[in-house]
Amino acid sequence: MYIEWSPKETWLHQINPSLKLLVIISLFTVMLLIDDLNYLFSFTIAVLLLFILFTGHPFKRILLFSIPFFVVFVSTSFTMILFGKGETTILKFGLIHITEESFYRGLLVGLRALATAALGLTFALTTKPVLLFYSLMQQMKLRPAYAYSFMAAMRMLPIMAEEFQTIRHARKVRGWEGKKGAGGFFRKISAYSIPLLSQSIRRAHRIAVAMEAKRFRMAGQRTYYYQTGFSWNDVLFIGYFLVVLAAGYYFSAEWPYFKQVNF
Amino acid sequence: MKPIVQVEKLRLAFPGSKNMLFKDFSVSFNKGEKVLILGPSGCGKSTFLQLLSGIIPGSIDIPCRAEALEIPQEWGYVFQDPDAQFCMPYVDEEMAFVLENLQTPREKMAERMEELLSAVGIRLPALHTKIQSLSGGMKQRLAIASVLALKPEVLFLDEPTAMLDPEGTKDIWDTLKKVGRDKTVIIVEHKIDHVLDFAGRIILLDGNGNLMADGTKGEIFARHRTELREQGIWFPGVWEEYISQIPAGSKSIPANGKEVISLSDFKGIHGKEVKIHVDDLKVQAGEWVVITGKNGAGKSTFLHALMQFIKTKGNYLLKGKRILKGVNPAKEVAFVFQNPEFQFVAGTVYEETAFSLRMKGLEEGNIAAMVENTLRVFALEKQQHLHPYQLSTGQKRRLSVAASIIADPDILLLDEPTFGQDAKNTFAILDKLEEFRKKGAAIIMVSHDEQIVEGFATRVLAIDHGRIIKNEYILESERAGMTCTV
Ligand SMILES: Nc1ncnc2c1ncn2[C@@H]1O[C@H](COP(=O)(O)OP(=O)(O)OP(=O)(O)O)[C@@H](O)[C@H]1O
Ligand SMILES: [Mg+2]
């Protein structure tokens, strides 16, 4: 997640977080509906452009983040390509049977996975969680009770990771030896997760008490430290995808990169 | 004058418990008073403070009834654990949370934050600083700053310095005295050194939450010494009384004591940094080593390195056996965490105490007898069915000590085992440890208490910036008050 590193602020950071979230969710739906390979290909390129050029993170980090995507892309498309069904055979070798249909279908699924991941990560890399919640409260009228519960919970995540370590130490100190093997593994999981959960619940309760002691009320007016509003960047963001969708459609009809196949 | 806080005939009982914690308890506070509430550990002081502020039953649902209950309009509450009271990751965001609750206009926020932070003496290069990067003392000051934002008439302080070293403690009290001058302040605190010149009135409770005395500081310490002593509450002079009754000559180390821990060029590594570096140190059976040093000096890290919680390098011999990677020293060594909650592994006080014995595979009959005995020594019998988290602060600390020493270890590492404890139980813990030492156990313990050093330590190690800067034997006066530096 964002938290540790501080990238350069780009126009993607300055988009209203709620709006960004909404746009990205609608793009996810649009992507599910596209089953034209050419169209999806243009779209994926457009998303990758944003991801690589405008998140404000150094290239090395972007490259690092791209590795899992690449793996996802290759693995999903290849399973479809190698073992899919179809009529126009390209290659047949034992179990492996590549047909034109399976090839295109595989590419389509792979691209969809790639675009989804890149879009999601672009969002995560350019959105501060705190700002997202502030924006949700201001623009989407999310109730502060929920927003602040989420923010407090996020603060607890690293604490929980530490806690896991602590519980491990506590058991070690008290002479609890984990058994080897699969049975031991599951015993270990249950031995850790129950106290971890119960401690988290108690801790959460304590933070809730402290929050209420600071006059946090479930309902009621409040002011906002971070003011989130709209700007030309929002227009640019929406415009970018409108253009991409329109142009992609046009290109796929006029100058397809791939042969059009129906499947 | 109309009291600002008042309760009449209060009755309160925890769900599922037979005994009432408060029974027809009445007390009232006037505007501007500085009141210290004293009582043995577990008598209900924290509960009472939460009730006076309306946290009970507002945020914590506990059945209670009172004929009259006057809660202040504007109040602030400082909790003892700094980490458990923040809900945002950054200093400015945390302060903003309070200001937003009060509907402070956005334009005024930055100015107000600066004002509040400077009132508690926090100077930061930028407001947008991670809370996690602050020291314990700074965190607690931040907590006070956000409480001040509420413009409280009444301040409730529940052991606000429980997690701090002596320096941090003094700082916080200086801050509190400054900001609390014109407010009503109601304080619960065991270590009263810093509070006594601030509080004018003292309310004395007994072990069951009954009012024993209520009067000015002078009156209480002059007329109620017996009660204070009986209830085991700290009062000026109680340490001297206690230490004077320790038989002379008890501080000697057995001459033929075996070497139990031997370190050379020993390093504790956290991340990639060396956090503690010990050139050479040997500890023999029958020693009581007290480790001192500031918050963050590396005391706990040193103990963690000995327990192999963190990566270590160098030579480490435990009872002559070399400790290599993957060896668990816990078979030979008992350990008490600084934060007792970190240690709890079981669902009830009884099970927690029995845990180590079960791990050892003892018979159920023996276990029951040993557990009951231990719980009695540490005054936890009545709480044996509670969840460890439901205990009072002092009880938690006692339980963590009880549970780790029950298996009769001969090396003990303890991280501030007497913090937040009343006098009686502090002495009970020390007596128990001394008993172990006499039997030949080696004790290594982090503590800030001068008196423990004076009364019990046979050696003091001072740690600063991850290095041992002082290693001094303290032997008894008959040996001419001799301290020899090694
Ligand atoms: N949920 C609960 N159920 C039953 N008993 C409880 C519960 N919570 C607390 N207690 C008991 O209530 C008593 C009062 O607790 P409280 O925390 O008020 O004590 P305290 O005076 O602040 O002690 P300390 O000085 O150790 O902090 C303790 O004996 C504790 O064990
Ligand atoms: Mg308490």
Q: Take residue B273 and report the two structure tokens written for it.
A: 């940094």
Q: Does the residue B38 lie in any domain?
A: yes
B250-257 LR contacts (CB < 8 Å, sep 24+)? B250/B434, B250/B438, B250/B476, B251/B456, B251/B458, B251/B474, B251/B475, B251/B476, B252/B458, B252/B475, B252/B476, B253/B284, B253/B286, B253/B287, B253/B458, B254/B285, B254/B286, B254/B440, B257/B284, B257/B285, B257/B286, B257/B287, B257/B440
Ranges of H-type helices in A174-214 = 181-213
Q: Does the residue B479 lie in any domain?
A: no
Residue whose pair of structure tokens reads 């309070």 in the numeric block = B98
The answer on B170 and B45 residing in a single domain is: yes
Query: Is-contact A256 A39, C-beta < 8 A?
Result: no
**Residue B249 to residues B253, B285, B458, B476, B485, Cα–Cα distance (Å):** 10, 17, 12, 6, 21
**Residue A177 to residues A174, A195, B333, B351, B442, Cα–Cα distance (Å):** 9, 17, 15, 17, 25
Q: Does the residue B480 lie in any domain?
A: no
User: Is residue B431 packed enough to be buried (19+ CB in 10 Å), middle (13-18) or exposed (0-12)?
Assistant: middle
Which of B216, B242, B268 is the C-terminal boundary of a domain?
B242
The answer on B304 and B183 residing in a single domain is: no
Q: Does the residue B145 lie in any domain?
A: yes
The pLDDT tens digits of the residues spanning A140-194 come to: 999 998 998 888 888 888 778 877 888 888 888 877 766 566 667 777 777 778 7
The answer on B228 and B144 residing in a single domain is: yes
> Could B356 and A223 be called an inter-chain contact, meaning their C-beta atoms sit closer than 8 Å?
no
| CATH number for the domain that contains residue B357 | 3.40.50.300
What length is written for chain B? Answer: 486
Q: Does the residue B218 lie in any domain?
A: yes
DSSP type of residue B228: H
Helix (H) or strand (E) holding A150: helix A144-173
Closest CA to B29 of B76, B70, B79, B73: B70
Give residue B156 CA to ligand 1 midpoint distance, Å.
17
Q: Please, which residues have CB within 8 angstroms of residue B342's CB and are 6 or more apart in sequence?
A: A166, A169, A170
The answer on B320 and B178 residing in a single domain is: no
Among A139-148, B79-88, B433-442, whose mean pLDDT is lowest?
B79-88
The answer on B305 and B277 residing in a single domain is: yes
In three-state secondary structure terms, B265 is strand
Binding-site residues, ligand 1, Cβ < 6 A: B 14, 17, 21, 39, 41-47, 383, 386, 390-395
Closest residue, chain B, to A203 (C-alpha): B84
Closest residue, chain A, to B407 (C-alpha): A174
Quick count: other Cβ atoms within 10 Å of Cβ B483? 12
User: How far apart, in whole angstroms, are the C-alpha atoms of residue B40 and residue B206?
Assistant: 7
User: How far apart, in whole angstroms, are the C-alpha atoms of residue A96 and residue A84?
Assistant: 9
CA A231 and chain centroid, separation: 24
User: How far apart, in whole angstroms, are the C-alpha atoms of residue B42 and residue B2?
Assistant: 31
The answer on B284 and B183 residing in a single domain is: no
User: How far apart, in whole angstroms, are the C-alpha atoms of residue B232 and residue B398?
Assistant: 15
The answer on B322 and B288 residing in a single domain is: yes
The pLDDT tens digits of the residues spanning A124-137 come to: 999 999 999 999 99
Q: Does the residue B251 lie in any domain?
A: no
The answer on B182 and B43 residing in a single domain is: yes
User: How far apart, in whole angstroms, are the C-alpha atoms of residue B1 and residue A142?
Assistant: 46
Q: Does the residue B483 lie in any domain?
A: no
Looking at residue A179, what is its pLDDT? 59
Looking at residue B114, what is its pLDDT? 93
Q: How confident is the model at residue A253 (pLDDT cuts 50, 70, 90)?
A: confident
Which of B242, B268, B288 is the C-terminal boundary of a domain?
B242
Which residue's alpha carbon is at the smallest distance from atom 3 of ligand 1? B14
The answer on B361 and B318 residing in a single domain is: yes
CA B470 and chain centroid, separation: 25
The amino acid sitting at B21 is L
Which residue's alpha carbon is at the smallest distance from atom 4 of ligand 1? B14
Query: Is-contact B112 B151, C-beta < 8 A?
Result: no
Instruction: Identify which of A172, A224, A227 has the shortest CB distance to residue B330.
Output: A172
Which of B242, B273, B308 is the C-terminal boundary of a domain?
B242
Q: Does the residue B351 lie in any domain?
A: yes
The answer on B225 and B84 residing in a single domain is: yes
Looking at residue B161, what is its pLDDT? 86
ipTM exceeds 0.90: no
The answer on B150 and B15 residing in a single domain is: yes
Cβ neighbours of A175 in B, within 8 Å: 330-331, 356, 359-360, 407
Contact with chain A for residue B86, Cβ under 8 A: yes
Cβ neighbours of A214 in B, within 8 Å: 97-98, 101, 146-147, 150
Looking at residue B448, what is its pLDDT? 84
Q: How confident is the model at residue A102 (pLDDT cuts 50, 70, 90)?
A: confident
The answer on B296 and B150 residing in a single domain is: no
**Residue B237 to residues A91, B215, B233, B247, B451, Cα–Cα distance (Å):** 94, 20, 11, 18, 11
The amino acid sitting at B398 is R
Q: Give chain A's mean pLDDT.
A: 84
The pLDDT tens digits of the residues spanning B104-135 come to: 999 999 999 999 999 888 888 889 998 888 87
User: How far apart, in whole angstroms, are the C-alpha atoms of residue B446 and residue B461?
Assistant: 9
Q: Please, which residues have CB within 8 angstroms of residue A136's CB and are 6 or more apart in sequence?
A: A17, A18, A142, A147
Residue whose pair of structure tokens reads 């001419």 in the numeric block = B480
Structurally, how many domains does chain B consist of?
2
Contact with chain A for residue B85, Cβ under 8 A: yes
Residue whose pair of structure tokens reads 């990758």 in the numeric block = A48
User: How far apart, in whole angstroms, are the C-alpha atoms of residue B314 and residue B324?
Assistant: 10
User: How far apart, in whole angstroms, are the C-alpha atoms of residue B367 and residue B363?
Assistant: 6
Best residue among B156, B189, B192, B390 to mutate for probing ligand 1, ranked by most atoms within 8 Å of CB = B390
Structural domain including B344 reads: 259-473
Query: Is-contact B30 B200, C-beta < 8 A?
Result: no
Instruction: Find which of B97, B103, B414 to mutate to test the A interface (most A CBs within 10 Å of its CB).
Output: B97
Q: Take residue B66 and report the two structure tokens written for it.
A: 């009172």
User: How far apart, in whole angstroms, are the C-alpha atoms of residue A44 and residue A31?
Assistant: 10
Q: Name the most confidently modeled range: A24-33, A72-81, B164-173, B267-276.
A: A24-33
DSSP secondary structure string for all residues of B81-120: -GGGG--SSBHHHHHHHHHHHTT--HHHHHHHHHHHHHHT
Among A103-107, B398-402, B482-486, whose mean pLDDT is lowest?
B482-486
DSSP type of residue B474: E
Looking at residue B478, what is its pLDDT? 41
Q: How confident is the model at residue A1 (pLDDT cuts 50, 70, 90)?
A: very low
The pLDDT tens digits of the residues spanning B338-358 come to: 888 888 888 899 999 998 888
